[in-house]
Amino acid sequence: MLTLPRDLLQSFWLPLVGMASLLEPPRGSESVVIDIEELIERLAWKVRIENPNSIREYLLQFTGLLDVIPKAVDAAKKHFPEAQLIMDVYQDPEIDDRYLVLCIRLKDYDDSVIERLEKAEAEFLNQLVNKGGWIQLTTDFREPEGEGAL
Amino acid sequence: MVRKYVKPPIVEAVCEFRLTRETRWDLTVPGLLYEELKASFPQKEQRMIQEVELIQEPEGLKQQIRTSERIIFFTEDKNMLVQVGPRLLAINVLKPYPHWEGFKPRIEMAWESLQTAIEVQGLERIGLRYINHIELPGQSVEIAEYFEFYPHVGQRLPQQMSSFLVLAEFSYADDRDRCRVQLAPIPGSGGKSSFMLDIDYFLAQPRAVKPEKALDWVEEAHSRVEEVFEGCITDKLREMFEEMS
């Protein structure tokens, strides 16, 4: 796991080696790129990220989604605590349309899946208004696989 | 000598002005700024930003998180943006970097618009930050061939690093300014070796630069960032970036 600056900033030894200024000034990030990296790092604990570079590119274009993605992931986790979550960028093969896909994969699919998907989606859908980009919560009805498969 | 590249690795450059608390700020400021900037930055968005404040106390570090609203104005192509938050103005350019000649006028425009909208009493911080993504061929690379800023690992340590973070802060102008340089690999780069070189030049002494000198400071900061960038890379990378003749 890569140690990113924020982890380092919280290291106890910084003040001891005269680097306390690294803790200052209090602020959030003004950099879109850093915000994206931090989001991807946080997401990686809960979501299997496919094609991180495509996701980076997409988020650079639609920065408004940076606020929405954590809500979408939280909603998916709430309604599908047993699911593997996978994030990728979907590119329509026929038209110039791309969007983020948050896909859930379950060991067993029952009749409640679609209803639960709709309920989860309803928790963040209104936040997508006027955002330009889009994140679609869906399932491909496949079993969890690979690293982090349940 | 200033070098320019056909393929600069810059993915983002940010110029940030943080105003002192004496500067009056209210909810009308973003609207006033938008009126000034909308011809160049017509698209608007709103974001909630979580700011992490780390306070050094006798018993240790205390972390405080606060949320603030930020209004963002974008150019039509969304490659440039102006962020406005409480006593904050930031101007960002995303790749492809339009070179300093393209970025500087946007900084000037936003800063002058802010001064038209409000009376800036002082500057807590100014920052000029350049974030570079550098992609090298192959999964395993000899980092010293490409960088002159990298971790030194003695012969008795394992030579294969799975990850690292190099961070240094350099002092300028009698410690009025600092330049924080960070180099780290970017995870999940799909079979390639990618690195983030982050150069953040900032005013380390609040109020040491007067508002009327802010743009001079930015120009000077840009020169320092260029020097630091050139100091971090080798000719092998310069060849990859294709220097303009």
What ipTM did this prediction achieve? 0.86
Q: Which two tokens stand for residue B115?
A: 């001064």
| Full strand arrangement of the beta sheet holding B193-203 | B43-57, B60-74, B80-85, B88-94, B10-19, B123-136, B193-203, B177-185, B166-172
d(CA B38, CA B36): 6
Residue among A19, A122, A31, A120 at smallest CA distance from A78: A120
Interface test with A, best of B10, B14, B107 (most A CBs within 10 A): B14
Q: How many domains does chain A have?
A: 1
Q: Is residue A85 included in any domain, yes or no?
A: yes
d(CA A4, CA B163): 10
Using one digit for the tens of pLDDT, what is the confidence trace for B104-147?
999 999 999 999 999 999 999 999 999 999 999 887 888 999 99
Peptide bond preceding A25 in cis form (omega within 30 of 0): yes
Q: Is residue A24 included in any domain, yes or no?
A: no
A79: domain CATH number? 3.30.300
Q: Is residue B77 included in any domain, yes or no?
A: yes
Domain hosting A97: range is 31-139
Which neighbouring-strand residues pair with B168? B181
Q: Is residue A76 included in any domain, yes or no?
A: yes
User: Shortest CB distance from B83 goes to which of A19, A30, A53?
Assistant: A30
What's the pLDDT score for residue A94? 83
Q: Is residue A148 included in any domain, yes or no?
A: no
Q: Is residue A4 included in any domain, yes or no?
A: no
What's the pLDDT score for residue B115? 95
User: Shortest CB distance from A28 goes to which of B50, B60, B186?
Assistant: B50
Q: Is residue A22 included in any domain, yes or no?
A: no
pTM of the model: 0.87
Cβ–Cβ below 8 Å for B167 and A3: no
d(CA B140, CA B137): 8
What's the pLDDT score for residue A122? 97
* Residues in B touching A11 (Cβ below 8 Å): none
- Cα atoms in the Cβ-side hemisphere of radius 13 Å centred on B213: 11
Q: Is residue B210 included in any domain, yes or no?
A: yes
Percent of chain B past pLDDT 70, that is, above it, reads 96
Who wins on pLDDT, B196 or A18? B196
Q: CA nearest B89 in A: which residue?
A: A30
Domain hosting B173: range is 10-45+73-241
Q: CA nearest A50 in B: which residue?
A: B188
Task: Sort A108 into a burial class: Cβ within 10 Å, 0-12 / 13-18 / 19+.
Answer: exposed
Which residues in chain A belong to E strands, given as ranges?
Answer: 47-49, 84-91, 98-105, 135-139
- Written as tens digits, the pLDDT of chain A (150 aa) is 333 444 444 444 544 445 545 544 444 579 999 999 999 989 998 999 998 989 999 999 999 899 899 999 999 999 999 999 999 999 888 887 899 999 999 999 999 999 999 999 999 999 998 888 999 999 999 999 876 555
Q: How many domains does chain B have?
A: 1
Residues with Cβ within 8 Å of residue B216, at least 6 apart in sequence: none
Q: CA nearest B50 in A: which residue?
A: A28
- Confirm or reject contact between B167 and chain A (CB < 8 A): yes
